[in-house]
Structure 1
């Protein structure tokens, strides 16, 4: 969740409303955005 907070500036309260599947999808988007290939 820290990577999502870093990349998208989301706070924990916002992320608490997301399912584990949604968090995993957003985590991959954060990885791509932070470390483009």
Structure 2
């Protein structure tokens, strides 16, 4: 089984910002749950449905 690379909050924020073109201030008030939700939506948007 291939190893899944570790991902941290900075990676999650960078991915979301890249896909949705949001500024860093957009993430100041988000909870971890919200970040994960938006990260999943960003992955779907770029075709990474895994």
* Range of TM-score over shorter length: 0.7 to 0.9
Q: Tell me which protein shows more helix as a share of its residues.
A: 1
4+ residue segments displaced more than 2 Å = none
5+ long unaligned stretches in structure 1 = none
More RCO (CA 8 Å, sep 6+):
1
Task: Kindly report the root-mean-square deviation, in angstroms, between the aligned alpha carbons of the 2 structures.
Answer: 1.3
Unaligned runs of 5+ in 2: 1-12
- The TM-score, its normalising length taken from structure 1, stands at 0.83
- TM-score (norm: length of structure 2): 0.65
Pairs aligned (count): 37
